[in-house]
Structure 1
Amino acid sequence: MSGSTINALVSPEGSLEILSNYEVNLLKNRNAGGLYRLFRQCALAVLNTGIITDDCQDLMRAHPDFDIHLIPQPRGLKLELINAPAHAFVDNEMLRANREHLFSVLRDIIYTHASPKFAPLRNSTQPDDLTNTVFHILRNARALQPGRQPDLIVCWGGHSISDQEYQYSKEVGHQLGLRELSICTGCGPGAMKGPMKGATIGHAKQRVKNGRYIGITEPGIIGAESPNPIVNELIIMPDIEKRLEAFVRCGHGVIVFPGGVGTAEEILYLLGILLHPDNADLPFPVVFTGTQENAEYFEMIDKFIRNALGDKAADKYEIIIDDPVRVAQTMKKGMKRVETFRRAMQDAYYFNWVLKIDPVFQLPFEPDHENMRALELHRDQPTHLIAANLRKAFSGIVAGNVKEGGIRKVQERGPFEITGDPTLIKPLESMLEQFVAQNRMKLPGTSAYRPSYRIIDTAA
């Protein structure tokens, strides 16, 4: 991963040109209360676009001498980069995509951590405040476009996928682009990049000049899934829960490609929300899709969902195997239903206010050994709470796999322990074993996967 480096002064690109002295001091502050370390980590991630890694610690270790300084200018602001990765430049000029992403990072970190207007929402646990937090971050990033018809398809799937799976995701994106639909993903490689790459060709064929390739990430995961260069709107949410809410509030439909625990977390989050009685009549097209070789994978996912959440949950999605055209047609038809419903409900096209999200899906979950062991993985609770607790289990495993804080906790105290009703955790253990066997936990060719979790069978 390491290589040649470069020193450079970089001017803003489209997001944030001026800062107050208070904001500058926060970004310079290298103590626990400052933003320097967070800004440096996210900046390094966006400068490593295209580099194959899924370990935040590996990224940081590979660039120990990288530094970033804010340089006030009479006409605004510049960033001084010290020992920046040279592959982010061409002929000593930073690639425009990297520059856009770099200042998107600056914009979102400043807004969520330093904006006085944002302060009342920052630490609130009230459901409306949490949703307003998501709305304000998206609005500040200019991601909400009120004059646009529903067209944003959220694509979820693994960063560690086979070449065949990647090509399939690209073809689905191509078909979506031909139908003038835009793409939103987690912004990284694999199934997050493929649909965007395919859509660029479809948009080019249709002469679509305003195609959107939105990448939504969060600080804990950006180093493991650096933004791919196709992303033209990068947004950094404060945590995984607000990232997930941003997907379902601004997206109009979801396509799920094969993936690992992160994808499973997204599926459980989405189904847990759609199963809420208040969302029973809300149109939200969801398709699981992959190649013919992925048929068994989706049979496994479908079986797990039916066992954990019941057949009613399976009614919320359609499985389409090896048919990109049908996937795109299904989404295009779904956009018409979404438009009709939003108009009837007088709900915004650009932000789904009507969607009911239970607070259990909004409050940040801190993956540590105590919280993971305390998860209520039993059937004596409403179905949406089963989904919420399973979502947290997957979130903890993601943290232990790729997030710096989670990796460190596992290194210090061993794997997270997961226990509960055998009828829930046995299928969970089986599915996790399949993810490991199919190389969906770590990128092939990187370090061998060492489980960040341990399933504890209390009935044994």
Structure 2
Amino acid sequence: MKKIPYTTVRPIRSLNLLSQEEIIKLSSPSAELHQLFRECALAILNTDSHEDDAEEIQQLYADFDIRLKSQPRGVMLEIFNAPAQSFVDGTLIRGIQEHLSSVLRDIVYTDFKILAEETNSSAKITDKVFRILRNANMVRPNVSPNLVVCWGGHSIPREEYDYAKHVGYEFGLRGLDIITGCGIGAMKGPMKGAAVGHAKQQITHGRYIGISEPGIIASESPNAIVNELVIMPDIEKRLEAFVRLGHVIVVFPGGVGTVEEIFYLLSILLHPENKYGIPLIFAGPESCRDYFDTLDAFLKQCLGEDISQLYEIVIGEPETVGYKVKQAIAEVHDNRRETEEAYYYNWQLHIDPMLQQPFIPTHENMAALNLDPSLPKHLLASQIRSAFSGIVAGNVKSFGIKEVAKHGPYLLKGDPSIMRAIDNLLHIFVKQQRMKLGQGEGVYQPCYKLVG
């Protein structure tokens, strides 16, 4: 494990002037904001590493630090004991320098402008998401709809990665831009393929947008293709950013994090106030036919047979996926024009406040989830989404890992049929190696226990 003992860099474009108060809060080792900046910066500098355990990364680089030094011409970043893979001949890679600047920009703006405003209003939260994205130059007027959100696992077999890349290539040939969670696997593949497709079409302004948040960034460090990075304050605002920015969502095979995203979106699409939804396509290679059969059956078991009307499954045929997505975006374009809604931000979409409030995966909150099929479908989907959010936290997020280590597995209670469905799905994910392994080679250590 090689480290760069010391280096200095200047933020690029996004932020090079800070107030004294901002510098103090970001530089004081005892300040909470400094710890947040340090953890996100370490994740950025750990790009291209195969390590996805946030706790282990922190231990490996316990002596890492990043500080702000005020100078007459702006701010200088002092970096200590950084991962060496982010440097070439001792110089920080330009793209990583851009990502560091984006992290600094978003943390400062969010802390001093967004979180300072106390509000639980749904409309105000949506407005906050918009302002964070606008500050990062993610929302752009006078541009026709062309953003495809791609979700899927970050630790996937080569065949699935190659398929995601081929689908991304078909998107690129059609002039479509990509939004992902910014990590590797099914998040990197579509971006890499789209970059080749854009090059063939001589598109030089292709957008490869990565949306992350502090709790997940260590396990899903931004891949090298990302050229626009934004760090949202929490997972709920991250998910809202996806559905407000994107025009179509494509889901590749993944694990519990992907299922969390699916239930978040289905909760929105099922809400009775949403007349117009978001086109949703599940796509994977022939080897993933069983995966999508299992997922389809699970969704129907939890939310009813009619749920399949909200999505389409395409097995193989990357060109077909590209064609269908292009057609879906054309329909979104027509709808937005007809309703006089903005192309760049889906204001008309109603998101239930339950999906906007941060779900903190404590043992008490996990046990209190209401997994009851008598609930309205959009509320049940929201509750199931929270259950999977907690499992994600227990697998890869520092807070969740510490909670499970201290208090034991999370207890999930609910209707027996739903509990059996969740249990069966998770066992299949373990068998397919879509769940993070714990201590002991090849043995999954569950962070949850199902009761019901």
Question: Normalising to structure 2: TM-score of the pair?
Answer: 0.97
Structure 2: segments with no counterpart, 5+ residues: none
Match of 2:192?
A: 197
Query: Hey, what does 1:161 align to over in structure 2?
Result: 156
Q: Deviations over 1:209-232 (max 9, x none)?
A: 111000001000001111101000
Q: 1:400-415 residue pairs with structure 2 within 5 A?
A: 400-415=394-409
Shift of residue 445 of structure 1? 12
Query: 1:444 and 1:173 mapped to 2: Cα distance?
Result: 32
1:62 maps to which of 57, 60, 63: 60
Task: Note the residue ranges of structure 1 that are not aligned, 5 or more in a row.
Answer: none
Letter in 2 for 1:409: E
Matches within 5 A, 1:349-360: 349-360=343-354
**Distance in 2 between residues matched to 1:330 and 1:71, nearest whole Å:** 51
Q: 1:99 aligns with which of 92, 97, 100?
A: 97
Q: Distance in 1 between matches of 2:83 and 2:277?
A: 45
Q: Does 1:184 align with 2:179?
A: yes
* In 2, Cα distance between equivalents of 1:191 and 1:80: 33
Q: Hey, what's the Cα distance between the residues in 2 that align with 1:164 and 1:93?
A: 34
Instruction: After superposition, give the CA deviation of every residue in 1:322-369 in whole Å (9 maximum; x if it has no partner).
Output: 011010111101111111111111111110000111111111111011
Q: Determine if contact 2:277/2:349 at 8 Å carries over to the other structure.
A: no
Match of 2:391 among 387, 392, 397: 397
For residues 21-40 of structure 1, the C-alpha deviation after alignment (integer angstroms, 9 at most, x for no partner) is 11111112333x53111000
Distance 2:44 2:440 in 1: 20
* Distance across 1 between alignment mates of 2:316 and 2:105: 40
Taking only aligned residues, the RMSD between alpha carbons, in angstroms, comes to 1.5
Task: State the shift of 1:198 in Å.
Answer: 0.5
The alignment status of 1:232 with 2:227, answered yes or no, reads yes
Aligned equivalent of 2:450: 455
Secondary structure of the structure 2 residue equivalent to 1:308: helix
Query: How much has 1:444 moved relative to structure 2?
Result: 11
Whether the 8 Å contact between 1:67 and 1:81 is mirrored in structure 2 is yes
Deviation at 1:16, TM superposition (A): 0.7
Aligned partner of 1:418 in structure 2 is: 412
Q: Deviations over 1:169-206 (max 9, x none)?
A: 00000000000100000000110100001000000000
Query: CA offsets, 1:307-330, max 9 Å, x none?
Result: 111123211110000011010111
C-alpha offsets along residues 289-322 of structure 1, whole Å, 9 cap, x if unaligned? 1011101100111111111111232111100000
Shift of the alpha carbon at 1:433? 0.6
Amino acid at match of 2:28: N
Deviation at 1:125, TM superposition (A): 1.1
Q: Which residue of 2 aligns with 1:129?
A: 124
Residue 82 of structure 1 aligns with which residue? 80
The CA distance in 1 between the partners of 2:221 and 2:261, in whole Å, is 19
Q: Is the 8 A contact 1:53 1:446 kept in 2?
A: no
Q: Name the counterpart of 1:52.
A: 50
Q: How does 1:272-351 map to 2 (within 5 A)?
A: 272-280=267-275, 282-351=276-345
Distance 1:366 1:53, change over 3 A: same
Instruction: State the partner residue of 1:261.
Output: 256
What is the CA distance between 1:283 and its match in structure 2? Answer: 4.9
Q: What is the aligned partner in structure 2 of residue 211 from structure 1?
A: 206
Conservation of the 8 A alpha-carbon contact between 1:6 and 1:85? no
Task: Supply the distance in 2 between the matched residues of 1:242 and 1:389 (Cα, whole angstroms).
Answer: 17
Displacement of 1:447: 6.5
Tell me how far apart the structure 2 counterparts of residues 223 and 332 of structure 1 sit (CA, whole Å). 33
Q: In the aligned structure 1, how far is the partner of 2:220 from the partner of 2:3? A: 21
What is the alpha-carbon distance in structure 1 between the residues aligned to residue 451 and residue 416 of structure 2? Answer: 9
Q: Which amino acid in 1 is paired with 2:6?
A: N
Aligned length: 451
- Once residues 21 and 442 of structure 1 are traced to their aligned partners in structure 2, the CA distance between those partners, rounded to angstroms, is 42
Q: Which secondary structure does the structure 2 equivalent of 1:68 belong to?
A: strand
Structure 2 Cα separation of the partners of residues 445 and 203 of structure 1: 43
Compared CA separation, residues 443 and 344, structure 1 to 2 (3 A): farther
Q: Deviations over 1:87-117 (max 9, x none)?
A: 11112211011000101110111111123xx
Letter of the aligned partner of 1:67 in structure 2? D
CA contact (8 A) 1:272 1:385 kept: yes
After superposing the two structures, state which structure 1 stretch, 199-208 or 337-346, moved more: 337-346
2:3 corresponds to: 4
Tell me, in whole angstroms, the C-alpha distance in 1 between the residues paired with 2:115 and 2:107: 13
Gap change, CA 1:446 and 1:4, over 3 Å in 2:
farther
Specify whether residues 99 and 379 from structure 1 end up closer, same or farther in structure 2 by C-alpha distance, changes over 3 A only. Answer: same
For the residue of structure 1 that corresponds to 2:144, the secondary structure is coil
* Aligned amino acid, residue 62 of structure 2: P
Amino acid aligned to 1:55: D
1:381 aligns with 2:375: yes
Q: Residue 165 of structure 1 contacts residue 291 of structure 1 at CA under 8 Å; is this kept in 2?
A: yes
Aligned CA distance change for structure 1 residues 400 and 445 (closer, same or farther; 3 Å): closer
Q: 1:442 Cα shift?
A: 2.1
Whether the 8 Å CA contact 1:160–1:443 is kept in 2: the answer is no
The equivalent of 2:423 in structure 1 is 429
What CA distance in whole angstroms lies between the structure 2 residues aligned with 1:69 and 1:237? 21
